[in-house]
């Protein structure tokens, strides 16, 4: 009886508080540009639905043109950081804006560094 209660309490506690485990935690962004990019991604995520719907009204041949012009004005009024075009896929570790491979989100230099130290799973030096 007591054992059952204890088990139940343990289970509850485990759900409430995750077990502590040592992990690599990055508590900073590499530079301010990376921070701004993060902000842009967040606002783009928030306004994504609205932008999609307003654009659906704009890029339309059925609705009247006045409606479409009004929609144009509306979308221009949205915050500038909400458009996805402003997002730049930077390197996750060095914030390098160029030479970034999408699959790993790493710049070419970092990728090479890790691959040579055999820390990239399934990546091998090409030879043929």
User: Does the protein bind other proteins through residue 25 (CB under 8 A)?
Assistant: no
Strand bridging mode 100-101 / 106-107: antiparallel
User: Does the protein bind other proteins through residue 66 (CB under 8 A)?
Assistant: yes
User: Does the protein bind other proteins through residue 18 (CB under 8 A)?
Assistant: yes
Among 2, 24, 28, 64, binds other proteins (CB under 8 A): 64
Among 56, 98, 101, 116, binds other proteins (CB under 8 A): 56
Token pair 């012009």 in the structure block, residue: 69
Strand partners of residue 107: 100
**Of 118, 121, 87, whose CA–CA distance to 104 is shortest?**
121
**Of 21, 46, 24, whose CA–CA distance to 92 is shortest?**
24
Stretch that binds other proteins, among 1-9, 27-35, 92-100, 103-111 (CB under 8 A): 1-9
Distance in angstroms (rounded) separating the CA atoms of residues 88 and 17: 36
Binding site for other proteins (CB under 8 A): 1, 4-6, 8-10, 12-14, 16-21, 49, 53, 56-57, 60, 62-64, 66-67, 70
């Amino acid at each position: 009886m007591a054992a059952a209660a204890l088990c139940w309490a343990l289970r509850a506690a485990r759900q409430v508080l995750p077990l502590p485990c040592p992990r690599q935690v990055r508590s900073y962004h590499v530079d301010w540009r990376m921070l701004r990019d993060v902000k842009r991604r967040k606002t783009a995520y928030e306004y994504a639905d609205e932008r999609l719907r307003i654009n659906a009204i704009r890029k339309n041949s059925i609705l009247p043109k006045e409606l479409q012009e009004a929609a144009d004005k509306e979308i221009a009024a949205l915050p500038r950081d909400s458009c996805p075009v402003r997002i730049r896929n930077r390197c996750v570790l060095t914030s390098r804006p160029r030479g970034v491979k999408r699959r790993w989100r790493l710049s070419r230099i970092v990728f090479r560094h890790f691959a040579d130290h055999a820390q990239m799973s399934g990546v091998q030096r090409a030879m043929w």
